[in-house]
Structure formats: structure tokens, C-alpha cells
Chain A
Amino acid sequence: MLPSSLPVKVLALIPSGSGTLRRMQRANFDAILRRTPLLADLDSRDRLTSSFIPLPFAEGEAILRAGAPGRHLAIVLEGRAVVHARKNDHAYKVDVLGPGDLFGEIAFFDAGSRRTADVIGETAGVVALLPWSTYAALTHAGDPAGEVLEKAVLDLLSRRTQRINDTLGDLLEATRDGSWLAALRRFIGVRSS
């Protein structure tokens, strides 16, 4: 019997076994997914959570590439991944993602977009991927799970926008008394830790 605390990474790597084993693995994976803040408001039997697919990644492995097509929404379940943005042939580390963090939302929610950044494993880990087709079918059928997800993503982005806006305001204040370098170092330190 699989204990409920079995790491997701292990679950994702276990080869398909008996039907019972597969069901237990899935139940454990779904339980871990439901603990992420983004999906916490979903009904315990919703069909959205059960549509996520586990994907293990290795240290240094590209999970997403800027410019590539792709319509999966991703949530980090285990490990860390770095986000690299590109500008004028340079790549910049703009974020470090850990368990519960969301990525890939632009290309997921916009049919005309491609991936905007590289996401690379900083450690080994596991992400959960939601295919667009599942989300679209549920939303089209009026399933409330799609709405819960959209509202959770909007709330998350609104909070993040306010936080970065406040941080940039603090940085600008710091340029007046010459302490901007320390403030900017704190900003980078927070994003790199």
C-alpha cells in the first residue's frame, strides 16, 4: 500500500502497475495537487484536478522553451525551476519557481501566444500539467471548476502585481537617498533564493 506521504516524484516515476496501484497513485497525486493554493477551492470530486498529468524533470532540463508552441498550464509540485527571459540575445534569470507556483499561463490562456520564457529545472522535480483541451471542454460544458481556476489565477496575478508595484515604488524611493543598490540587491535576492 502506498503511504499518503509518498513523494510525488516517486509517484510520477512508478511504472504502470495493477489497476489498483494506478488508482492509488492517482489519488495520492490528486491529493497533493489539491493542497496547492491554486486548486484549494475546488470541489473534492472535481474533474479538473484529475485531468492534470505528472511530468518529472531533471536538474538542467528544459521544461518549457521560449518561442515554442504549447497549451498546457503547469504547477510545480516538487523541486525548483528557474525562469529565463530573453532580450537581445541575452538570457536573464527572472524568477525561481517552487512547489505550488504556476507557470505557462500566457500560452495556455491565449491561443495566439507562444511560450514567453525558458523554464529549466534547477533541481530535479515534478510539475503537474493541465491540457488546454480538458479545461476548454469543462468550461464549455459550464463545469464550475474552470471558473474556480480562472479566479484563483487572477487573484494570484493581482497580488503579484501589487507586490511588484510596491517593490518598484520602494526602489524608486531608494534612488533618492542613494540606497537603491541595496534595495535592488534585496529584490534580486528574494527572486533568486
Chain B
Amino acid sequence: MYDDKVTILADVPGLRGAPRSALQQLASTWEFKEVDGGHLCREGEPAETLFILADGECDVVKSAPNAKRYQVARLTPGCLFGHVGVMTLSRRTASVKARGRVRVLHMPARKARQLMRSDDFIVSSPFRRALIVALSRQLHSATSTTVRLAVDAGLTEPAAEGQPRPTRILDEKEISERLYRARGHL
């Protein structure tokens, strides 16, 4: 089981290439949990746990005020998730639901914040790298989604190197949907 954790951690972006000794120490800070089709976290709740998906797939879902729910991303093994709420001390910005049986590694938010600030560099340095990569990728996705919406709405031109992209007439439903998708990335 211990080696299993190390194998899972070794595939997390930001931890790839980390020394095995560091991964072994980091492994001791995570626990396994299995969920069959249920929610791992719900939008609006306090962010009390950090997760890594070990096996299976999860959907990230965001709700709109009209009760419509948008699937904004699909998580695959190796994904670190739940970190935005943990790092920014905010509530969950989206829900994460297991697609069938999944296995995750989880860590309490308080412990994650301690580890993030720790000067025990052997463990904390790779952990901070994983958080940096996860945050940066999400920012990139959220910004790109919003900029593509602005291009489609005719507010700005695509970058010069791209093929000309015709402006489309967007209705407010589609605009809302795409903004929810962008925000769900965070």
C-alpha cells in the first residue's frame, strides 16, 4: 500500500522526477479513500480536504442560479484537486463527483497548508511544486476559455498567427454557460 502511494504520487504533475526518498516521505501525509459514484466535494462547502485522484474518473460540475449544472472538466488519475479552496481559504467553487468506483488520496486542508509553509524542504518543496503546476494549469484554462468567448463575441481579434475566425452571434445562455465553464476550472 505504501509503495502504491509512492507510485501514484510519482505520476502527479510537479512530482514527476522527484527523488524517491522525497515521495516516500510525502506518501506518509496522504490517506486512501474509496468512493462509488458519490461526491468527493460539493460546491459552496468549506474546503477542508485536498485530493489526488488515484484510480477512476471524476466529473467537475458547476451549478448556475437557474439550477442548471455544467460539467466543466473531467479528472483522470494523477490529478490534484480541491487545492484552490485549500490555498485561498475559500469555499468550493465546484463539485467533484466520482464516475463509478474511484480511489483517491486525501489530506486535511490544515495539514496541507502547514506542509505548504513548512521549511522541511525534502517534503515541502515537491509538494509546493505540485500545487504551483496545478494552479497554473487551471489559470491557463480559465483565462483561455474566457478569451475565446471574447473572440467569438467579436470583442477582440484572434492572435495574428491564427486562422481568421468568424464572429458568431452568441445568446446569453451560451455566454453564461461558457463563463460557468471558465469559472469551474478554478
A89 to B151, CA, bound (A): 14
A19 lies within 8 A of chain B by Cβ: no
Find B161's partner among A91, A94, A184 (CB 8 Å cutoff): A91
Contact, CB under 8 Å: A187 / B150: yes
A169 to B180, CA, bound (A): 9
Contact, CB under 8 Å: B132 / A92: no
What 1/0 mask marks residues of chain B from 134 to 176 whose CB sits below 8 Å from any chain A CB?
0111111011101111110101101111110100000010011
Instruction: Please tell me the number of chain B residues within 8 Å of chain A, measured between CB atoms.
Output: 54
A25 lies within 8 A of chain B by Cβ: no
Find B121's partner among A116, A142, A178 (CB 8 Å cutoff): A142
Contact, CB under 8 Å: A90 / B158: yes
Contact, CB under 8 Å: B14 / A109: yes
Q: A112-B13, A168-B182, A180-B175 are in contact. Are A90 and B165 (CB under 8 A)?
A: yes
Contact, CB under 8 Å: A165 / B93: yes
Binding site for B on A (CB under 8 A): 82, 84-87, 89-95, 105-106, 109-113, 116-118, 139-140, 142, 144, 146-147, 150-151, 153-154, 157-158, 160-162, 164-165, 168-169, 171-172, 175, 178, 180-181, 184-185, 187-188, 191-192
Known contacts A154-B116, A154-B128, A162-B88; 15 additional CB pairs below 8 A are A85-B147, A90-B159, A94-B144, A110-B13, A110-B14, A110-B133, A142-B121, A146-B121, A150-B129, A158-B135, A160-B139, A161-B139, A168-B179, A180-B175, A187-B150
